[in-house]
Amino acid sequence: MAADPATRYPGLDDGARPLRRPGRALPLLLVLLLFVGGCSREELHHTQLFSFGTLVDISLWGASSTQAEHAERIIQEELQTMHRAWHPWLPGPLTETNRRLQTGSWFDCPPELLPLIVEAKRLYELSDGLFNPAIGKLVALWGFHSDVPPQGPPPEPAAIQQLLNQHPGMDDIAIDGKRLRSRNPAVQLDLGAFAKGYAVDRIIGRLERMGIENAIINAGGDLRAIGRHGKRPWRIGIRNPRGPGVLASVELSGDESVFTSGDYERFYEYEGKRYHHIIDPRTGHPAAGVTSVTVIHDNAAEADAAATALFVAGPEGWYPVARRLGIKYVMLVDDKGGIHMNPAMAKRIRFETTDRPEIIYSKPL
């Protein structure tokens, strides 16, 4: 039951591959857990692939066996293509694009990257630069461009400040048809803040063109759902960012995406302090004051980018950013355990914890 809104309470793999080993559990780092219990095998087709450094969980309701098998092959091919094209540090179209952006000269953008860059520029502007895929050099400086988690002390303040002084942003990238150039050699693209969302949108589009009407594509806990789970909505859980299990659940039907950015996804600890991968482009340091942000939206790529932008904006700044991005459902968990949400989200959320959390409600979005 949702809280009363009138009250304030005090590493990446080398491609997609199927996972078929019996009994393999989803990792605890999932942000969202899919509830599919009680389904007959004839009605629900379920498989898992590994790509983008995470499990991609595919659930199809009401599809034929032939459709399901064909869908798995198509999704595997799509994931392999997107993974190779968008990988931020292994050789491929994105690393070559970043090399050419350093030159300041015009060049033909790889076609598998151009739509993402165009969309990234739009979302960068709407978020007032809080969603900023141009800070790849800062992400790399913190050690997150590696399959191995960073270790040791954080980067030297002087190295961080040197990059900040160059103000890399998506507005430094000029687009002329199929051609790109960067006016700022400090720009290095890292599309990780919304590549999963863009990939999920693409996969759902392929499924719909195949005639599949009821499905969830869950990429490491970030998902888009279409249709229904038989006679009832899809019901998913939102991970507790600082404890075991599920913090809350929400029901989805029709066509909706649920994306969460959390400080538990990729992080390391040094001398008792946690350093996570969501870098605030204003400070050059991991964004502070938030443990997770969950948004519900009708577009997975936009939901993915918005979750990052709102995480960076923090408890005091998320509301105007959500309005500019057109997000209608937000739940932010701050670093003290307080939960910030808008009234519309409060009507949809059902908390699954025994202890009732502190809820801080915003104005309607």
- H helices, E strands: number in the chain: 8, 19
Under the phi-then-psi rule, with left for phi > 0, alpha for psi from -120 to 50, and beta for the rest, what region is 244? beta
- Give the per-residue pLDDT at 41: 46
- In this prediction, residue 243 carries a pLDDT of 82
Q: What are 273's two structure tokens?
A: 């302090």
What pLDDT does residue 14 have?
A: 33
pTM for this entry: 0.88
pLDDT in tens, the chain (365 residues): 333 332 222 233 333 433 333 333 333 333 334 444 444 445 899 999 988 778 899 999 999 999 999 999 999 999 999 999 999 999 999 999 999 999 999 999 999 999 999 999 999 999 999 999 999 999 999 999 998 889 999 999 999 999 999 999 999 999 999 999 999 999 999 999 999 999 999 999 999 999 999 999 999 889 999 999 988 999 999 999 988 889 999 999 899 999 999 999 899 999 999 999 999 999 999 999 999 999 999 999 999 999 999 999 999 999 999 999 999 999 999 999 999 999 999 999 999 988 878 899 999 99
DSSP E strands in the chain: the ranges are 17-19, 32-35, 44-51, 54-61, 107-108, 173-176, 179-182, 215-219, 222-227, 234-239, 246-252, 254-262, 267-270, 273-276, 290-297, 329-334, 339-341, 350-351, 359-361
What is the pLDDT, as a whole number, of residue 26?
Answer: 36
Show me where the domains of the chain are located. Answer: 11-365
Task: Give every CB contact of residue 4 below 8 A, 6+ residues apart in sequence.
Answer: none
The pLDDT value given to residue 354: 82
Q: Is 301 exposed, middle or buried (0-12, 13-18, 19+ CB in 10 A)?
A: buried
| Distance of alpha carbon 65 from alpha carbon 16, whole angstroms | 21
DSSP for 324-360, please give it. Answer: HHT--EEEEEETTS-EEE-HHHHHH-EE-SSSPPPEE
pLDDT of residue 147: 86
Domain 11-365: what homologous superfamily? ApbE-like domains (3.10.520.10)
Q: Provide the 3-class DSSP secondary structure of residue 313.
A: helix
In this prediction, residue 53 carries a pLDDT of 76
